[in-house]
Chains A and B, each alone.
Chain A
Amino acid sequence: MSLLKALFRHPSGRIGATIVLVYLLLAAMGWIGLTPHDPLAQNRIARLQPPSARYWLGTDLFGRDVASRLMTGIGQSFLIAFLSVAVAASVGTVLGLVAAWFERFWDGILMRSMDILLAFPAILLAMLVVAVLGPGTWTSVLAIAFVYMPIFTRVVRGPALSLKNREFVDAARTFGSSTGYIVTRHLLLNIVAPLTVQVTLALAWALLTEAGLSFLGLGTQPPAASLGVMLSDSRNLMEMAPWLMICPAIAIMGGILGFNLLGDALRDILDPKTRVARA
């Protein structure tokens, strides 16, 4: 709770948190069907209509309401982003802790594999994974998780290595604390702050990668809506119906902006130096 309060006191945190909350609200409404129209219902009469009182953001080539599709699309894109980052963060964190705790052989194996993964551009690696597993919502979750996992491993391993040699870990060893206790309470607890920041930033990248995959037809499959699918659909109609492109584009941009602002604010708030100043 105090974290939320601190977020709303922070200037960019306030904007970031508001954007993310609005998106989450829209996504939730899209999920439970609280949309102005059915996002999948086609209407031959009302094709490519510009924004109006009836269709707030216009309609697409099949006469589907863009506003409704945008809401479900945000829901779909956020779901994939959150799930993939959750997987990436948990697997990456565990691998980072393993590398730091065992050092030597495991550190070498794990970190060199992560280096190889990091050498590929994100979207290329994600495409590779989808090419192997086949397109779809769940495979894009896995692909995006796989791509961003090495970053978490790196973010965790560095601090964990230095924390491991701190005196309080030595002290814990003299009490006979178990490895599990030391790793979770003494290492992980002290890495939560950089990890939280990394999660918000990764959410922004995951959103973008998901849009990219769907745009290329490798992620969410039509007729289901996602921000990338909507962009892809608008490709040939850019001049005739610019709202088809502008709406999802702005939605993607706004989402990334929101997560980035949130991440920056969290970095300020969770920094122990400024924490002391606040206390």
Chain B
Amino acid sequence: MTLLSVSDLHVGFGRDPEKSEVVHGVSFDLAAGETLALVGESGSGKSVTALSVNRLIDFGGGRVTRGTILLERQDGSQLDLVGAPEAELSRIRGAEIGMIFQEPMSSLNPVKTVGAQIGEAFRLHHGLSGRAVTSAAREALERVRIPDPVRRLGQFPHEMSGGMLQRVMIASVLACNPRLLIADEPTTALDVTIQAQIMALLAELRDETGMGMIFITHDIGLVAGIADKVMVMRDGRSVEQGALGAVLDDPQHPYTKHLLHSVPHFAHGKAVRCDGPGADGSERPAPALKVDDLTVRFNIKRTLFRPSQGNIHAVERVSFDLLPGETLGIVGESGSGKSTTARAILGLAPSSGRISATGQGLRPVQMVFQNPYASLNPRLAVEDLLAEPVLAAGHRFDADARERMHMLLDRVDLPADSLTRYPHEFSGGQRQRICIARALMLNPSVVVLDEAVSALDVSVQARVLDLLVDLQREFQLAYLFISHDMAVVERIAHRVAVVCRGEIVEMGPSAAVLSDPRHSYTRRLIAAVPNIARRRVHFDLDTSQVPSILHPAGWEPPEVRWLEVGPGHLAREEVA
């Protein structure tokens, strides 16, 4: 029995939706208890397709211009959602089709307690009141495996972590027992270990309730663990769809093959680079960047009504060397202090410890930021953007600098007429290329790449990584590559440092660390990375609390013992 049957769906936007069509004739079926994964890059129409199913697209200026969306309702009747009146649709949304979004923080009201927000669903849809609402909300939280639900009910969204909030969102959506759940990139904003748990939770809940699920993702590695069927979308068309096994093992369309094979997938240390300095037996050069005991602490100030709370130990005694031509990958989850480390090295955060960089220029260390949309001043033309580092270093912007600018633009594959254009005229990948060219204007010896490819689409990501590798070889650059994405780090890093709560817990050659992790945190991190080779791996829900990095004033961390577990491979000794 099909729960949802979409055929020949066309969706357009704006005044003339027929002309500005973004989804061109998509068809699929979904049975109860089944999961369909919609996979595609940004602009592929995957979200638009999903939002058309519950007609939320109408509120975003879109319109379904052709096709049918047949939904089997609770009472067994079939309804075509394309022609359904808005009043009918708003009853169906929530009650029969639930939806969870990417950002749990912005989907919840910050000034109401979690309990009040879940309770609202029970009040509205089930007509409960008083104590019945509270107990129903508690049960809902228990259902999504939130520990200590009674305390959680009284908390506000800002008191909870992203993973917990996403569970709360799922709980409030499930409160109405929807027959169909649409999950729009529900784990993209979350850390990998949390992502694995949310995926496990969704799969469990689907099996418990027998609901159908549409799972939207840009990461084809994610779907292996959850989907029954896969539909790969590109430019508003379905390029391939079929059963999970068939699509992953025997892809037919070149684009599916491209997604499966040319973009970085985590391979447990088998896809690492082996062109590092000293790899060919030559002598190891002097380090380009030496960091000793880097420590960043933020003081939580005493206020009128609050006594001093101590210090946030954001980065604690981080030390490493970085050789010319080498990439050190720094991996860790959000809040682990990896970005603060980068900012401290660039002098953007107050720090103690020794940082010494060697190079010819005034500023041998340069940085590329995560968000290419925010790191370029929208009011400056590319020429001015590239000239800024030169002027800032006190040089004249002369013929030599101009020549270098043209050379770099050519090296990062930007058209020659880019100079007079403004950032908004470029795509995300092109903007990141501008940022890379800008960082290279002063001929640095070290480039800090802070999540530099994380905001890009997977195929763009692959091309920017290739570019970075080429530039590294050409200019003998040392990269400090900061990322949460293991697959990307594996592709580019010669060595990897794993950071947890501001401290390095394991460091060594990529092949060793990624294939044979020794520290328990590294193991957990690697086990959580989504992987197409993995089908239906069961995750245990981990409900342990992360210990705080807020310590009272005067607190000093205990001495650390390092174990050498392989050549150059160090892991912290763990206290049992």
Contacts and interface: CB of A to CB of B under 8 A. Distances in A.
B375 interface: yes
Given A167-B369, A189-B377, A276 B424 contact: yes
Nearest to B367: A174
Contact of A171 (B362, B367, B378, B391): B367
A170 interface: yes
A176 B379 contact: no
B392 A189 contact: no
B249 interface: no
Contacts of A170: 343, 348, 369, 375
A276 B369 CA distance: 24
Contacts of A176: 362-363, 392-393
Interface residues of A, number: 21
A170 to B, nearest CB: 6
Interface string B371-384: 10011111110001
B58 interface: no
B371 A167 contact: yes
B392 A175 contact: yes
A37 interface: no
Contacts of B371: 167
A174 B425 contact: no
B375 A168 contact: yes
Interface of B: 343, 346-348, 362-363, 365-367, 369-371, 374-380, 384, 388-389, 391-393, 424-425, 435, 438, 442
A166 B374 CA distance: 7
Q: Which of A166, A175, A176, A190 has the most chain B CB atoms closer than 10 A to its own CB? A: A175
B375 A171 contact: yes
A172 B393 contact: no
A120 interface: no
A175 B375 contact: no
Nearest to A176: B392
B20 to A, nearest CB: 13
A18 interface: no
A43 interface: no
Nearest to A172: B388
Contacts of B435: 171
Given A171-B367, A175-B393, A176-B393, A279 B376 contact: no
Contact of A175 (B370, B377, B389): B389
Interface string A163-197: 00011101111111110010001100110100000
Contact of A186 (B348, B377, B424): B377
A174 B379 contact: no
Given A189-B379, A276-B424, A279-B424, A174 B346 contact: yes
A172 B365 CA distance: 13
A172 B348 contact: no
A226 to B, nearest CB: 38
A97 B442 CA distance: 29
A242 interface: no
Contact of A177 (B343, B374, B379, B392): B392
Contacts of A173: 346-348
18 contacts: A166-B374, A167-B370, A168-B376, A168-B377, A170-B348, A171-B438, A173-B347, A176-B362, A176-B363, A177-B388, A181-B388, A181-B391, A185-B377, A186-B377, A190-B377, A190-B378, A272-B424, A276-B424
